[in-house]
Amino acid sequence: MPSLRSVRSALAVATACVALALPATAQTSKATAAAGKPQGGSASTSSERIAAVVNEEVISVSDVGARVRLALLNAGGQDSQETRQRLAPQVVRQLIDERLQLQEAKKTGVSVSQQEIDEAIKRIAEQNRMGRSQLDGLLKSHGIPQSALTEQVRALLAWQKVMQRRIRQEIAISDDEIDAATQRIKANIGKPEYLLAEIFLAVDSPDQDDEVRRNADRLVDAIRRGGNFPALARQFSQSAGAAAGGDMGWVRTGESSAEIDKALSGMRPGQLSAPIRTATGYHILLVRGQRAFGSAGGEEMPAPRPAAPRPQARPDLAKATVNMKQIVIPIESKEAMKSVKDQAEALRKSIKSCGDFDAKAKAGGVPESGDMGTLKVKDLPPGLQQLAVGIPLGQPSPVLMSQAAAVILIVCKRDVPMIQPPPQAEPQPVAAPPPPPPSSKDAKMPSREEIEHDLVGERADLLARRYLRDLRRSAFIEVRSEARS
């Protein structure tokens, strides 16, 4: 099954505009008032669980689940319950930011037409060498509603338009600034420079530090488990390079913060950093190459191939046991199958715990319903073994359909020993000898136009981050507990 490249990479080509910071994550603001009854939002029914409230709009748990699946498809990561739980907090913050961006676009009179959205999605399909119908089929096969991609595209296009207005009004680069940047570049000739990719997560206030650090740790862990760095950067980074997979190009010593310079001094091509705290937030860096500044591109040291993902602990199904319960709804005829399925689905949504399950199993009156006792996982049919060890405790399974009945299962207790893989030695990157530093006479200098373009990008990045930070601080944002896992 092909892996879908992230929406941001396609839109970087699809839209001709200044490269901006297009934040994909948000850090939650503390509520300063009690939450009122949500109005609008994306919850399809009043009974659907709420993951977050942004001003008067709702983000539902199903919205979060759909976007988590889209992020996994983008990154090409392993789709497991553990991976989904690691990504969920970051996805919630991304959805919060998108709500704020769309609300600000509406407030400022910015709109995005359906034609613009369709054209952008068409380009996403083309980048993945498929037609629109094939893209829709790929999303469907992974259980991702088309609205998950559509709403992400809508928010991105709207925010680009909002930021374009701000750039025209607020960004102007003077000749003096270009002259000063030129002098800094000349002073760095011969010093190390690094070909970097970055994931940046902003910290808007001190009380968010722990939460943002945990999110950064989750992303590092996902990458080290084999996750795709560029795809995760496009989904979650808040830097201007997010649209290009976190690409920062060549970065010279002294251009970044002291904390980043210190971390880079001990890194080699192919290495991934731990989260680096600076005054603005956490940075995750991937060093793709290294050379002396002023060298031609030929001195670039290409990053080695990434190591194969480390083997992970896996469930020992031969020793695992579960306490499982079931609700069985018989199907009397083929014509009744759809109505029974609908009945079972409604029943499943109403179950919040094992206690609920017991009550509804007894109320059904079907003898096969109820407690199945403690079962050995190895004795279950192969199709049920992974479900038994994978579904969250106390939450009902999807409705299982056969010709004879609809079945809902729940696991209330579980004992699953893990098989630990043998320890592996950490591979050590081999550094090639550095090329001799170039002289100031031979150094390749960027043009004034290139320097101005870089300064505009830096200014736009800072402006976009501040703008979104101010929107978060002035908004009412409440994240419900079930969205934090």
Is residue 25 within 8 A of residue 97, CB to CB? The reply is yes
Angle among Cα 200, 480, 284 to the nearest 5 degrees reads: 15
Per-residue model confidence (pLDDT) at position 105: 93
Token pair, residue 352, equals 């919040």
Is residue 161 within 8 A of residue 15, CB to CB? The reply is no
**Lowest-confidence region among 70-79, 98-107, 135-144, 157-166:** 70-79
* pTM for this prediction: 0.54
Strand pairing category for 50-54 and 477-479: antiparallel
The CATH 3.10.50.40 domain(s) of the chain lie at 314-419
Could you give the count of Cα atoms lying within 13 Å of 245 in the half-sphere of its Cβ? 16
Per DSSP, the chain holds a count of helices (H) and strands (E) of 14, 13
**Residue 346 pLDDT > 60:** yes
Residue with tokens 């490269």: 19
Per-residue model confidence (pLDDT) at position 274: 93
**Lowest-confidence region among 168-177, 240-249, 339-348, 439-448:** 439-448
Instruction: Write the class of the CATH domain 314-419.
Output: alpha beta
The CATH 1.10.4030.10 domain(s) of the chain lie at 1-304+429-485
List Cβ neighbours of 269 (8 Å cut-off, separation of 6 or more). Answer: 195, 287, 288, 289, 290, 301, 302, 303, 304, 429, 431
What does the alpha-carbon distance between residue 374 and residue 321 come to, in Å, rounded to a whole number?
A: 7
Mean pLDDT, range 281-289, rounded to an integer: 91
The full length of the chain comes to 485
Per-residue model confidence (pLDDT) at position 310: 60
**Residue 43 pLDDT > 50:** no
Mean pLDDT, range 253-277, rounded to an integer: 87
pLDDT band at 455 (very low <50, low <70, confident <90, very high): confident
User: What is each CA distance from 293 to 188, 249, 296, 303, in whole angstroms?
Assistant: 7, 12, 9, 18
CATH match for 1-304+429-485 among 3.30.70.270, 1.10.4030.10, 1.10.540.10, 2.30.30.100: 1.10.4030.10
What does the alpha-carbon distance between residue 201 and residue 215 come to, in Å, rounded to a whole number?
A: 8
Is residue 268 within 8 A of residue 414, CB to CB? The reply is no
The 8-class DSSP code of residue 379 comes to: G
Alpha helices, DSSP H, located in 351-445: 354-364, 382-390
Dump pLDDT digits (tens) for 302-337: 444 445 556 666 777 788 888 888 988 888 888 888
Q: How far is CA 273 from the centre of its chain?
A: 19
The DSSP bridge partners found for residue 247 are: 197
Sign of the torsion formed by the C-alpha atoms of 369, 371, 377 and 378: negative
Dump pLDDT digits (tens) for 378-408: 888 777 887 888 888 888 888 888 888 888 9
Indicate the helix (H) or strand (E) that contains 91.
helix 81-107
What does the alpha-carbon distance between residue 139 and residue 133 come to, in Å, rounded to a whole number?
A: 10
**Lowest-confidence region among 146-155, 156-165, 209-218, 233-242:** 233-242
What does the alpha-carbon distance between residue 33 and residue 51 come to, in Å, rounded to a whole number?
A: 18
Amino acid type, 46 = S
Query: Both ends of the chain: CA-CA distance in Å?
Result: 28
